[in-house]
Amino acid sequence: MVAPSPTADRAAMTANIARFSRVDAADEDLKAASVALCVVLHQDVPSLLITRRAASLRNHAGQWALPGGRRDPGESIEDAARRELAEETGVEIAADDVLGVLDDYVTRSGYVMTPVVVWGGPASPAMSGSAAEVAQIHVIPLADFDVAPRLLHIPESEFPVIQLPLLGGYLHAPTAAIIYQFCQVALHARPTRVSHFEQPLFAWK
């Protein structure tokens, strides 16, 4: 059996996301942000770019995150994701490398995050971002994330905290929720919703 080519993987993800009806949670009282789910090929293995936030940042220092940040006035969802990806990882992509957009996720800290799936091509060992924002860039095989999530219950919320495995530890929401939906929608064509998944208490700031 011949393994599917990277182009076929890209085409399949694009088609799956196109069939997905996303939920827009835009609210003028929330800060609008875009994050990039950047699929790259590392030794021909489809992978995802994940960053470790710099320890010097005022908010969420040292946490795992997708490349992203607040949108500038008048900036589109997709353009903001592309800009933040370039600033934080050095990966520059064209507008036609955007594969689609997933559900908005509203965070406890007052953001509405819009995930944008993009195709980054072959992973470059020269990737680097702003040292003021990014401490490390990791390339994680999609298969590592494409697993059943760990769900924890906390007394402070009626909704479960979602976790995904990452490098011997766990990745939390919002990033874990967004990546879980990406795997369900883009890889399996399942219309899975994740906005109800809770964040850990340390992210409620």
- Could you read off the pLDDT of 130-183 as tens digits, one per residue? 656 776 889 999 999 999 999 999 999 999 999 999 999 999 999 999 999 999
The reported pLDDT for the residue numbered 1 is 45
Q: Decide if 193 is inside a domain.
A: no
pLDDT at 88 over 60: yes
Q: Decide if 92 is inside a domain.
A: yes
Better-scored residue on pLDDT, 20 or 128: 20
Q: Decide if 79 is inside a domain.
A: yes
- Domains held by the chain: number: 1
The reported pLDDT for the residue numbered 6 is 61
Q: Decide if 103 is inside a domain.
A: yes
CA atoms within 13 A on the CB side of 193: 8
**In degrees rounded to 5, what are phi and psi of residue 48?**
-125, 140
- Residue 40 sits in which domain range? 6-147
What separation in angstroms does the CA of 5 have from each of 9, 12, 20, 179? 6, 11, 23, 22
The partner residues of 32 in beta bridges, in order of sequence, read 112
| Residues sharing a CB contact under 8 Å with residue 113, sequence separation 6 or more, in sequence order | 33, 34, 35, 68, 104, 105, 106, 107, 174, 178
The reported pLDDT for the residue numbered 35 is 98
What separation in angstroms does the CA of 91 have from each of 8, 125, 142, 153, 186? 22, 11, 18, 37, 21
Q: Decide if 203 is inside a domain.
A: no
Q: What is the mean pLDDT of residues 181-198?
A: 96
Q: Decide if 200 is inside a domain.
A: no
Better-scored residue on pLDDT, 56 or 86: 86
Cβ-contact 128, 89 below 8 angstroms = yes
Q: Decide if 178 is inside a domain.
A: no
CATH number at residue 37: 3.90.79.10
Q: Decide if 137 is inside a domain.
A: yes
| Residues sharing a CB contact under 8 Å with residue 110, sequence separation 6 or more, in sequence order | 29, 30, 31
- The token duo for 178 is 């967004």
